[in-house]
A and B are shown apart, each in its own frame.
Chain A
């Protein structure tokens, strides 16, 4: 049996324990991510998604019962090499544009590789590569002031900064919010390619169910600090009642087919990709 690359077992976490502001964020969350997977994570605001993910590269350390094991290492161990861990697990947070701090685009993206003491040539190669992946033209943008970028461009720079470290695991926490539709399509294609060609393992958190349906091979549903559902996107998105009770909704494809089924049409509720859905819709039309 292959071991999961990331295994989270019965993890609990409380912010500001023992104070009047104490807030329980995780109540026994478990998740396994295998090398080479794209795993989706969905859940309403406040479900604990970001808290969970911050455990994956040691930004938060287990303080209560539960384990976070990354590449065979239990992160509760105080001797964990955090520098190595953070090179291995890159996180693009919500509002990554707020993480920009250098004056020029190129310097911001090069920050991580510089910290790792890489050669100038290697740094340049990585910056060029990362900018190509996120779709920023090197010559146009490398010397542009970060202050003059649009919201979407700032987001791309922030993502490129994480990619330049070439992490084995890429965690995207609402990273595509605010991208225009075609950029979002291209970005999804790039994530697929990072996964297929570079072997990058990916965890995607998104409130855009279309994006989860398009990217993930497996989906976890989180609510109130623990997992409440897990399966392929087709399985998870067919659980209409659970999704509605959590305020998550469904991708357009699942929603339309579910609605037609409710009206008595015999369509496959597990169809989720656009082509499959088109086929299902054509089947019930008068030809």
Chain B
């Protein structure tokens, strides 16, 4: 099927593979990511999330099994550059990803290395900086920006490569709440515009924004489904060392106590307010009861 962007077949990976102290990290993962999808990958510490993510653009290669990006085998070195153009990675720490002395130079670095000529280069940089809302700050040195702004510079640097897919490996975990919201807004906008998003996260409220959640445990897929499906399995999640987002926990406790049934179960704080509002005793006109 040509709408499949990434195909993973029975992927096994071990750090120090073949050595006596090899540490297995992935133990037989098969999955597909469709073009334009928004997928969240969650799982306990050491479950293999980041290791899996690094296979999506050939930063790591399978010990056994295959990873295909647009039908190109990531193990074939002839495809490496093409694959990295298709799948861009944003990591946890923006400061490890920023190389330029000015915002616009940093964003131009990737496409320049791909040999993109002017004026196409300048257009790409502008488009990428507009997409993350930093065009006005293009002449600033990145180190004088806030954490959220620096992470958006890192995302713009990846976007300037015009990838079909953006992999965010805990890209918001070091940001303060406002910066996290900024980055998530950019991600949602990119997804709406057609970019495939793979978000690795420990924030369950963030995972709830995806269309599909893949839960890893011990280097295998343990659970998969829509946020509604995954987060309603509270006991199973606990076995997998995860908990539903706080709004869902509140909603479940309210249901159990009040007898009110929310359908669907609210997963975000906004959805919880709406659900409670819909089931609340109506307010008298003109103010508080």
Interface residues of A (CB under 8 A from B): 44-46, 94-95, 144-145, 147-153, 155-156, 174, 177-185, 207, 209-210, 247-249, 251-253, 255-256, 259-260, 263-266, 274-275, 277-278, 281-282, 284-287
Q: Does B277 contact A (CB under 8 A)?
A: yes
Name the contact of B173 in the complex, choosing from A177, A266, A274 (C-beta under 8 A). Answer: A177
Given contacts A260-B276, A274-B249, contact A180 B43 (CB under 8 A): yes
CB of B242 within 8 A of CB of A285, answer: no
- In the assembled complex, which residues on chain A have CB atoms less than 8 Å from the CB atom of B173? 177-178
Residue of chain B at shortest CB distance from A206: B176
Interface residues of B (CB under 8 A from A): 15-16, 21, 23, 42-47, 50, 92-93, 146-148, 170, 173-181, 202, 204-205, 238, 241-243, 246-247, 249-250, 253-254, 257-260, 269, 272-273, 276-277, 279-281, 283, 287-289
Task: Give the distance in Å from the alpha carbon of A180 to the alpha carbon of B16 in the complex.
Answer: 25
Q: Is the interface of B mostly helix, strand, loop or mixed?
A: mixed
- A-B pairs with the 5 shortest C-beta distances? A152-B45, A247-B178, A249-B177, A150-B46, A148-B23
Given contacts A45-B176, A281-B254, contact A182 B43 (CB under 8 A): no
Min CB distance A160 to B, Å, is: 14
- In the assembled complex, which residues on chain B have CB atoms less than 8 Å from the CB atom of A281? 250, 254, 258, 276
- In the assembled complex, which residues on chain A have CB atoms less than 8 Å from the CB atom of B238? 182
Task: Give the distance in Å from the alpha carbon of A281 to the alpha carbon of B258 in the complex.
Answer: 9
Residue of chain A at shortest CB distance from B49: A150
Name the contact of A210 in the complex, choosing from B50, B246, B281 (C-beta under 8 A). Answer: B246
Query: Can you list 12 A-B contacts with CB-CB less than 8 angstroms, sorted by A residue number?
Result: A44-B178, A46-B146, A150-B50, A156-B45, A180-B242, A182-B44, A249-B177, A253-B246, A256-B247, A260-B277, A274-B246, A274-B249
CB of A287 within 8 A of CB of B247, answer: no
Given contacts A148-B15, A264-B288, contact A247 B179 (CB under 8 A): yes
Q: Kindly name the residue among B179, B247, B254 whose own CB sees the greatest number of chain A CB atoms within 10 A.
A: B254
CB of B254 within 8 A of CB of A278, answer: yes
- In the assembled complex, which residues on chain A have CB atoms less than 8 Å from the CB atom of B177? 207, 209, 247-249
Task: Give the distance in Å from the alpha carbon of A174 to the alpha carbon of B287 in the complex.
Answer: 42
CB of A182 within 8 A of CB of B280, answer: no
- In the assembled complex, which residues on chain A have CB atoms less than 8 Å from the CB atom of B242? 180-182
CB of B253 within 8 A of CB of A181, answer: no
CB of B279 within 8 A of CB of A286, answer: yes
CB of A183 within 8 A of CB of B44, answer: yes
- In the assembled complex, which residues on chain B have CB atoms less than 8 Å from the CB atom of A178? 45, 92, 170, 173, 202
CB of A153 within 8 A of CB of B46, answer: yes
Task: Give the distance in Å from the alpha carbon of A45 to the alpha carbon of B281 in the complex.
Answer: 41
CB of A285 within 8 A of CB of B277, answer: no
- In the assembled complex, which residues on chain B have CB atoms less than 8 Å from the CB atom of A149? 46
Task: Give the distance in Å from the alpha carbon of A68 to the alpha carbon of B46 in the complex.
Answer: 40
Min CB distance B226 to A, Å, is: 19
Min CB distance B180 to A, Å, is: 8
Known contacts A145-B23, A150-B50, A274-B253, then 11 further A-B pairs from the complex at CB < 8 Å, ordered by chain A residue = A45-B175, A178-B170, A180-B202, A181-B204, A182-B44, A182-B243, A207-B177, A256-B276, A264-B288, A277-B250, A285-B281
Residue of chain B at shortest CB distance from A258: B273
CB of A255 within 8 A of CB of B93, answer: no
Name the contact of A207 in the complex, choosing from B170, B175, B247, B283 (C-beta under 8 A). Answer: B175
- In the assembled complex, which residues on chain A have CB atoms less than 8 Å from the CB atom of B289? 266
CB of A180 within 8 A of CB of B44, answer: yes
Task: Give the distance in Å from the alpha carbon of A182 to the alpha carbon of B241 in the complex.
Answer: 5
- In the assembled complex, which residues on chain B have CB atoms less than 8 Å from the CB atom of A253? 246, 250
CB of A151 within 8 A of CB of B50, answer: yes
Task: Give the distance in Å from the alpha carbon of A182 to the alpha carbon of B243 in the complex.
Answer: 6
Min CB distance A185 to B, Å, is: 7
Min CB distance A19 to B, Å, is: 15
Min CB distance A139 to B, Å, is: 15
CB of A180 within 8 A of CB of B45, answer: yes
CB of A181 within 8 A of CB of B259, answer: no
- In the assembled complex, which residues on chain B have CB atoms less than 8 Å from the CB atom of A286? 260, 279-281
CB of A181 within 8 A of CB of B243, answer: yes
